[in-house]
Amino acid sequence: MRTVAICLGAIIVSFITDAILRHFLMPDFGDIVVRMSTTPPNSQQWDEIWRQWHHVNMISVFVLAPVAGFASGAFVGLLQKHYAVLVAASTQIPELLFQLFSDRGKSWVHSPSGAAFAFGQHLLPVITAMLAVALCRRILLSRCRPGFGARAGSDA
């Protein structure tokens, strides 16, 4: 029961972290989405809208999602006792599925290289969540055991 509660809490932490960061780092995200969905592709403004969308998407994929994954992994790493890396990785599956299936163009469906690229991008939060667990475990172990991680021959 504890693992389920931690898993659900980590999913919530991930979504809330992503939403808060998106609000502060990309305040015009909603306007760009509306402009992109209402402007026809043959419009003169389309190139500028596409450039803005591409910029926002790169920030979202390569900055916001990994930070949210790290926050989720830290949550799991601090609270979960057993199988923490597995739990942290599984907390990112809902976001991964949401991102893959909400992609309107679904360019990843048409080629194996496109699928590998899209899957690799969406694995970034999973990887950072797992790294956060490892980092939290390392910090917790170093606090519990004096001298853990100290170099041989040091006076620590």
Tell me the residue range of the domain where 20 lies: 2-103+114-143
- Residue 154 lies inside a defined structural domain of this protein: no
Position 150 confidence tier, pLDDT thresholds 50, 70, 90: low
- Residue 155 lies inside a defined structural domain of this protein: no
- Residue 156 lies inside a defined structural domain of this protein: no
pLDDT value of position 156: 47
pLDDT value of position 116: 76
When divided into structural domains, the chain yields a total of 1
Cα–Cα distances in angstroms (integers) from residue 1 to residues 91, 93, 95, 106, in the given order: 15, 19, 22, 37
- Residue 149 lies inside a defined structural domain of this protein: no
* 49-57 CB contacts, 8 Å cutoff, 24+ apart: 52/28, 56/26, 56/29, 56/32
pLDDT value of position 12: 94
- 63-72 pLDDT, tens per residue? 999 999 999 9
- Percent of the chain beyond pLDDT 90? 35
Higher pLDDT, residue 123 or 133: 133
Q: Is the pLDDT of residue 152 over 70?
A: no
- Residue 92 lies inside a defined structural domain of this protein: yes
Position 98 confidence tier, pLDDT thresholds 50, 70, 90: confident
Mean pLDDT confidence for 83-111: 78
3-state SS class at 78: helix
- Residue 87 lies inside a defined structural domain of this protein: yes
- Residue 79 lies inside a defined structural domain of this protein: yes
